[in-house]
Structure 1
Amino acid sequence: MTPLDYEYLQKLLKDRSGLMLSADKRYLLESRLLPLARKIGVPGISELVQKMKTGPDSLIHDVVEAMTTNETFFFRDKTPFDHFKDSVIPDLIKARAGRKSLRIWCAAASTGQEPYSLAMILKDMSAQLAGWRIEIIATDLSPEVLEKSRSGLYTQFEVQRGLPIQLLVKHFKQVGAMWQLNPDTRAMVQYRQFNLLQDFAPLGKFDVIFCRNVLIYFDQPTKTDIFNRLMKANEPDGYLFLGAAETVVGLTDSYRVCPKRRGVYLPNPAAARAPAAAPQFAGGLKTGTASGR
């Protein structure tokens, strides 16, 4: 792979998914793309790049798909889900008592463990939420992982990662060597293909946004732009959840830290009232991003 090949792939991946590859990530690119090169019958990355420049768009899609990270598991990091159950939802039940509806967005939802974790929490709070309209919208860049998500079908290894045994017994049934989430819990989540580089306005407003373990793959200007647009998609008294290694500090004034709730952020009303420049969007394919969590 020549330096020009690497530069071409760096730009394509940033434009299509937001993924930033630094100069020391050649090994990652080669490990992910060499199997794809061999699959289509070319010996290396340089030949793959040539085919990308002259071949069908589907090959570019396959390259972006190969480079995305879909690491996720049920109740990942646990603490944010405790905050969601023990304080955020009770606060929103009081604040939304008049309309009795909640909208939740899981961005870069990968294979579905995060939105289904939220669905199980809300299912188990059905007494408090009787008569409420609950929407969980889960989006991702990859149609392949969205298809797996919709099936709600997981291996023994996947259900052992973070899922308490009592929830496994309550919300899943065994299907051969796999475990499938019950239809009523699966039905609580709507999956859509969507790109975080796109305009969020068509998705509407959300009381809670989970955008966890994905922005770490973006450069600082892209992160700042996404935070500013997330705030506009968040209800003024809503909540944003980020990953354990992520923060808004030093990146944007659109959100402020939520006291005593690690990983939870609140829209900043002062920033919301300030005039904002028109967002800059990169050209893109679909949703989520380079991480699935």
Structure 2
Amino acid sequence: MDAFISLQKSIERLVRIRCSNYKEDYIKRRILSRMRLTNTADFEAYHKYLLANPQEVDLLRNALTINVTKFFRDPEVFEVLRREVFPDLAARRGSIRIWCAGCSTGEEPYSIAILAHDLLALHPGASVTIHATDIDTVVLEKARTGIYDRKALENVDERQIRRHFISHDDGTFEVRPHIKDLVKFRQHDLMSGIPIARYLDAVTCRNVTIYFTEQQKNELARLIHSALSVDGYYIMGKTEYLGREVEHLFAPYNVMQKILRKAA
């Protein structure tokens, strides 16, 4: 059997990531970066190293999923959510349900929770539930802890930091309980074909599909479409797009910020 194919089979079994969901060049680049760090000469040698060193499983998972994020990443998107999307949902719904898919270490769902907390102050009869999911249990544990360094908060103003974070002596900041309580973290594989919930009012899935094949992007779009209520919002990454096979499933709401609505 080809050494790379054999390695992929072990990755799927140990790391629990379906390599077929990603472009082959991307998988190879991430593995090669781990090979350089582990001083392994080829795929076969790295395969043996992976099997012999259990700690490499988590390191490889992190390399493949690339968890790079921060609070209010792409501030313009969150401004549209704050000024238009969330007030619209509050006016039309008593209970707002949001899914943050591919949530990584939690900065995005907590950013949404901060906006939701401010929204609830203006609409006391409303409620908000945020489902935050990722395939990586390691990043989910960090997300639940909710402790971040100053760099992750560079888009958060000082007033929000004082209101929503606890400052620790070591220079880190912890999300306060009133924000944590709005977010429910859970492991979930986006390629399982099963949404985390149905009749959702909004789904954010940003900067995830850039590593997917065209087929997997289309399957994900169908999954999100099935999860949303009529007129529900789908927020994509700024560099992402819908394939022609699935573009009829959504109508543009804000083209510049990649915010769509579920088509009837």
Is TM > 0.5 for Structure 1 vs Structure 2? yes
2:44 corresponds to which of 43, 46, 52: 46
Assess if the C-alpha contact under 8 Å between 1:231 and 1:254 holds in 2: yes
Counterpart residue type for residue 69 of structure 1: I
Assess if the C-alpha contact under 8 Å between 2:235 and 2:260 holds in 1: yes
What does 1:133-148 align with in structure 2 at a 5 Å threshold?
A: 133-148=127-142
Q: 1:242-263, CA deviations, whole angstroms, 9 ceiling, x for partnerless residues?
A: 0110122534121121156621
Equivalence for 1:77: 74
* TM-aligned CA distance change 1:30 to 1:44, over 3 Å: same
* TM-aligned CA distance change 1:259 to 1:173, over 3 Å: closer
RMSD of aligned Cα (Å): 2.7
Assess if the C-alpha contact under 8 Å between 2:72 and 2:78 holds in 1: yes
Asked whether 1:262 is paired with 2:257, we answer: yes
Higher helix share: 2
Assess if the C-alpha contact under 8 Å between 1:106 and 1:138 holds in 2: yes
SS in 1 for 2:203: strand
SS in 2 for 1:163: coil
CA distance in 2, matches of 1:159, 1:226: 30
Equivalence for 1:120: 114
Q: In the TM superposition, what is the alpha-carbon distance from 1:222 to its structure 2 partner?
A: 0.6
TM-score, with length taken from structure 1:
0.78
CA distance in 2, matches of 1:120, 1:82: 12
SS in 2 for 1:84: helix
* TM-aligned CA distance change 1:56 to 1:231, over 3 Å: farther
* TM-aligned CA distance change 1:57 to 1:266, over 3 Å: farther
Assess if the C-alpha contact under 8 Å between 1:10 and 1:21 holds in 2: no
- Between the two proteins, the alignment pairs up a number of residues equal to 257
Equivalence for 1:286: none
* TM-aligned CA distance change 1:85 to 1:191, over 3 Å: same
Counterpart residue type for residue 30 of structure 1: L
Assess if the C-alpha contact under 8 Å between 1:16 and 1:64 holds in 2: no
Asked whether 1:66 is paired with 2:69, we answer: no
Asked whether 1:233 is paired with 2:227, we answer: yes
Equivalence for 1:21: 24
Q: Which has the higher contact order (CA 8 A, sep 6+)?
A: 1
Assess if the C-alpha contact under 8 Å between 2:218 and 2:243 holds in 1: no
* TM-aligned CA distance change 1:183 to 1:16, over 3 Å: farther
Q: In the TM superposition, what is the alpha-carbon distance from 1:62 to its structure 2 partner?
A: 5.1
CA distance in 1, matches of 2:24, 2:122: 46
Q: In the TM superposition, what is the alpha-carbon distance from 1:93 to its structure 2 partner?
A: 1.7
Counterpart residue type for residue 23 of structure 2: M
Unaligned 5+ runs, structure 1: 270-293
**Percent identity over the alignment?**
27
Q: In the TM superposition, what is the alpha-carbon distance from 1:193 to its structure 2 partner?
A: 0.6
Q: In the TM superposition, what is the alpha-carbon distance from 1:156 to its structure 2 partner?
A: 1.8
Counterpart residue type for residue 65 of structure 2: T
TM-score, with length taken from structure 2:
0.86
Assess if the C-alpha contact under 8 Å between 2:96 and 2:128 holds in 1: yes
Counterpart residue type for residue 263 of structure 1: K
Unaligned 5+ runs, structure 2: none
Q: In the TM superposition, what is the alpha-carbon distance from 1:92 to its structure 2 partner?
A: 1.2
